A and B are shown apart, each in its own frame.
Chain A
Amino acid sequence: METLERIIAEHPFFQGLESYYTGLLVGCGANVRFQPGSYIFKEGEEANEFYLIRSGRVALEIFAPQGKPIVIETLEEGDILGWSWLLPPYLWKFHAHAVQDTRAIALDGKCLRTKCEQNHDLGYEVLKRFAQIMERRLEATRMQLLDVYAVR
């Protein structure tokens, strides 16, 4: 059986982090499971965790005025879900909807955030990693916006 520690340490996102900090994360980590159709978090809620998805599919949704959700992106195995816990106002910007039976490791973002404030070296390492994730998402989102398949 895979231990939490091994999964976290081997995940590309955590590569290069000193074992002290991985240990810290493991200490605040837990296996979680979401039933298909359930919401992991909702827009506007306090953001205190982030998730390392192990299996399943999570749809990031935004609600249109008509009340029906628009899926803007889906995340699957290996993806990191959520970074709103890292930056003020620490509130979720989208709904995270488990569209399949989803297993993940929940990590205590609030705890990690506090540690980052105290230890700026750790803070820099964490921000660097999240900056990379954000940059890739931004790039992908911009390409989605381009609507390359549209007839002009």
Chain B
Amino acid sequence: MATAVLDDPMLTHPHLVRNVIKETPDTFTLKLEPEDGRHGTSFRPGQFSMVWVFGVGGLPISISGDPAERHQLVYTVRSVGQATNALVTQSVGSALGVRGPFGNGWPLEAARGRDVIVVAGGIGLAPLRPVIYEVLKHREDYGRLVVLYGARSPRDLLYRKELAAWARHHETQVLITVDYGGMSWRGHVGVVTTLFKYARLKPSNSVAMVCGPEIMMRFVTRELEAHGLSRNEIYLSMERNMKCAIGFCGHCQYGPYFICKDGPVFRYEQMKPLLEKYEL
């Protein structure tokens, strides 16, 4: 029989659900606190946890809270199947198992002193939100902040109040678009790449961080390159099947990379030859 030792990375730790916020009809934000307070909640923007529902299963969820708020872990989850549905239907006071944090993070160090472009599609804004928090908290350490965010329709937009608040910051631009406008939407309609021409930044001194469906990331990176960013200044967060998050189960391999430990954040330079391959 195997022993689970306290620092065993396959051992999960109970966390209590403190708050459940409905962001959109199918997406919820959960705020968790460690039950025993023993396990720290510090993480780097871009990292993820393996979140476990008793007797159901575990899955990788990006941490989408503020790294400075060390008492809690925040996850924004979209219900797309049995496991995610089990997560979003948790009520306040129930417990989930958390392992992690895992993975590398967004390149905040590389972005210091430079303009930061955050391009998010759909739920992809969740793993990028900690970046926005960081940059706004240390505003002097970075150049301009441009947030380009696309969602399917107006009711699928996440963090609406925060988006408006972020836009009011100094040297910060928040541009939002939807694929389908509906009746009362007076904002921009079109894919997120159509926002690029309105972004005010210096491509020669920018770092771009992109997260969203893979198709969206493919056309966004093309557009970023067309606007003068090099492939080493464009970063993507990739996603694949994960069972362990520690490089042993083998499921998350993408070409030679383990997305759990070599990623999930990669430079476009590394990803470009792989993104072009079908069924890799």
- Bound pair: A and B? yes
Chain A residues in the interface with B (C-beta under 8 A): 57, 59, 68-74, 76-78, 99-100, 139-140, 143-144, 146-151
- Check: B278 CB closer than 8 A to any chain A CB: no
Chain B residues in the interface with A (C-beta under 8 A): 26, 78, 80, 121-123, 151-152, 156, 179-183, 185-191, 193-194, 197-198, 212-213, 215-216, 219
CB proximity of A111 to chain B, nearest CB, Å? 28
Q: Judge whether A149 and B122 touch: CB under 8 Å.
A: yes
Q: How far is the CA of A6 from the CA of B262 in the complex (A)?
A: 52
The interface residues of chain B lying within 8 Å CB-to-CB of A150 are: 152
Give the A-B pair count, Cβ closer than 8 A. 64
Q: Judge whether A73 and B122 touch: CB under 8 Å.
A: no
The interface residues of chain B lying within 8 Å CB-to-CB of A57 are: 186, 188
Nearest 3 pairs of A and B residues by beta carbon: A71-B181, A149-B152, A149-B122
Q: Judge whether A149 and B121 touch: CB under 8 Å.
A: yes
Q: Judge whether B197 and A147 touch: CB under 8 Å.
A: no
State which of B78, B80, B156, B190 has its C-beta within 8 Å of the C-beta of A73.
B190
Q: How far is the CA of A83 from the CA of B180 in the complex (A)?
A: 23
CB proximity of A142 to chain B, nearest CB, Å? 9
Q: List 20 other contacts, CB 8 Å, given A57-B186, A76-B198, A99-B186.
A: A59-B189, A73-B189, A73-B194, A74-B181, A74-B187, A74-B190, A78-B197, A139-B219, A140-B191, A140-B193, A144-B190, A147-B152, A147-B179, A148-B212, A148-B215, A149-B123, A149-B151, A149-B156, A149-B179, A151-B80
- Greatest chain A CB density within 10 A among B152, B180, B190 is at B190
- Greatest chain B CB density within 10 A among A59, A68, A144 is at A144
Q: How far is the CA of A71 from the CA of B184 in the complex (A)?
A: 10
CB proximity of A67 to chain B, nearest CB, Å? 11
The interface residues of chain B lying within 8 Å CB-to-CB of A146 are: 215
Please give me the residue from chain B that is nearest to A73 by CB atom: B190
Q: How far is the CA of A140 from the CA of B215 in the complex (A)?
A: 12
Q: How far is the CA of A73 from the CA of B123 in the complex (A)?
A: 22
The interface residues of chain B lying within 8 Å CB-to-CB of A148 are: 121-122, 179, 212-213, 215-216
The interface residues of chain A lying within 8 Å CB-to-CB of B152 are: 147, 149-150
Given A99-B186, A149-B151: A144 touches B181 (CB 8 Å cut-off): no
Q: Judge whether B186 and A140 touch: CB under 8 Å.
A: no
Given A149-B151, A150-B152: A74 touches B179 (CB 8 Å cut-off): no
The interface residues of chain A lying within 8 Å CB-to-CB of B121 are: 148-149
